[in-house]
Structure 1
Amino acid sequence: MATGHTDPQRRERIIAATLDLIADEGLAGVSHRKVAARAGVPLGSMTYHFRGREDLLREAFTRFADGVVATFDVHLGGAADADEARAAVVDLIHRLSDGPQRDLVLTHELYTLAAREPAYRELTREWMRRSRVCLERHFDPATARQLDALIEGLALHRALDTDPHDRALTAEAVARVTGGPARPGSAA
């Protein structure tokens, strides 16, 4: 088996295994031993790459947040005007809510941890700031802040509802927050 020095993907496998373990067992289920087994690495690799469990969790949640911000960037990056940006936000909400259950669980594990631990609160603040930067390409800062909260809320409601709302309701909500045109058939 390759050592940590000759296995450049080892750190990445450890982070991915940590996120998978959090999604499957929650934060309480994360230990160096379990992560090493899931990543297929020697237990000693854990302390070689991470100072401790907290360092590992921060790195894993940072990587997860980076992925969500990248999703925002992909969806909003191609919008040429406010109308295209509104449509991109609707697509983003539906992508987040229809996406893997794993992402929903990871989001809420991070939020719960952030509610208790200042370091994770800072990580989530930075995640929100970066998400708003993507939105501010198309909307003023106050609207971007409101829209970011709307995205989180609607994605959560759609993901957890047994009868999730449709795209028309999402589009109407986005239009209301962004001051966009009312959609045909929607209440003003």
Structure 2
Amino acid sequence: MARDVGTRHGRQNDPERRDRIIDACLDVIVEAGVAGASHRRIAEAAGVPLGSMTYYFTGIDELLRDAFTRFSTDVSERFVARMAAAFDRDSARDAVVEIIRRDILGDRRELVLSHELYTLAARDRSYRALTTAWMGRSRAALEQHFDPQTARMLDALIEGLSIHRALDEDAHDVQDVHLAVARITADQ
């Protein structure tokens, strides 16, 4: 008889523990990077026994993959929702600016997690499927309002600004973001 994840011998076994471990994994990555994300450190952050880690995950790679999948899916869903709420070209431009302003320039945690995932995907081809799917969802959302080439350029602007945000100590002027989006979408 196969056992379900989160159950042992037919009994429910802390149904939220797996989610707590994934959330703790993301917190540890923000604090210490992927390199500092060990089973011991994550278990401690999640408040679970170290032995329970192997009950829910076959290894650190599965845990990292599940954590980054959750992260990229959550970010994508917000991105898609912002773009879906746009009702014309101008509101689509405003939505892109809000994505940049709030989600890229405004959230240090997401910035760090994004760059940790990018670095991991650059080194390990198996993680590239996550980043490729993430970019695909972003571009599909942008293509609701812009042609594919413009959507690709806007996506590159968003990613490029995230790099600048990670490395530049100076605050970013929102008017510059408006200007960049307007220039990229000018022929639309």
TM norm structure 2: 0.88
Q: In structure 1, how many angstroms separate the alpha carbons of the residues matched to 2:171 and 2:82?
A: 21
Quote the residue 1:186 is aligned against.
none
Choose the corresponding residue for 1:40, options 47, 53, 75. 47
Q: In structure 1, how many angstroms separate the alpha carbons of the residues matched to 2:152 and 2:127?
A: 20
How far is 1:73 from its partner?
A: 1.7
The reply on whether 1:6 has 2:18 as its aligned counterpart is no
Q: In structure 1, how many angstroms separate the alpha carbons of the residues matched to 2:169 and 2:36?
A: 28
Q: Name whichever of 2-11 and 102-111 sits farther off.
A: 2-11
**Residue-by-residue CA offset, 1:16-73 (whole Å, 9 max, x unaligned):** 0000001101111111111111101122221111111100000111111012102212
Q: Which runs of 5+ in 1 are unaligned?
A: 182-188
How far is 1:180 from its partner?
A: 5.6
Q: In structure 2, how many angstroms separate the alpha carbons of the residues matched to 1:158 and 1:38?
A: 27
What count of residue pairs does the alignment treat as equivalent? 180
Quote the residue 1:98 is aligned against.
105
Quote the residue 2:28 is aligned against.
21
Q: In structure 1, how many angstroms separate the alpha carbons of the residues matched to 2:29 and 2:69?
A: 14
The reply on whether 1:58 has 2:81 as its aligned counterpart is no
Q: In structure 2, how many angstroms separate the alpha carbons of the residues matched to 1:28 and 1:160?
A: 20
Quote the residue 1:146 is aligned against.
153
Q: Give the RMSD, CA atoms, in angstroms.
A: 1.9
Identity of counterpart residues, as a percentage?
Answer: 58
The reply on whether 1:118 has 2:125 as its aligned counterpart is yes
Aligned amino acid, residue 71 of structure 1:
R
Quote the residue 2:143 is aligned against.
136
For residue 18 of structure 2, give the secondary structure of its aligned residue in structure 1.
Answer: helix
- Is the CA contact (8 Å cut-off) linking 2:111 and 2:162 kept in structure 1? no
**Residue-by-residue CA offset, 1:63-86 (whole Å, 9 max, x unaligned):** 110121022123212100111000
Quote the residue 2:3 is aligned against.
none
**Residue-by-residue CA offset, 1:76-125 (whole Å, 9 max, x unaligned):** 12100111000110111011233332211111111111111001112111
TM norm structure 1: 0.88
Structural mapping, 1:158-173, within 5 Å? 158=165, 160-173=167-180
Choose the corresponding residue for 1:157, options 164, 167, 183. 164
Quote the residue 2:87 is aligned against.
80
For residue 99 of structure 1, give the secondary structure of its aligned residue in structure 2.
Answer: coil
For residue 121 of structure 1, give the secondary structure of its aligned residue in structure 2.
Answer: helix
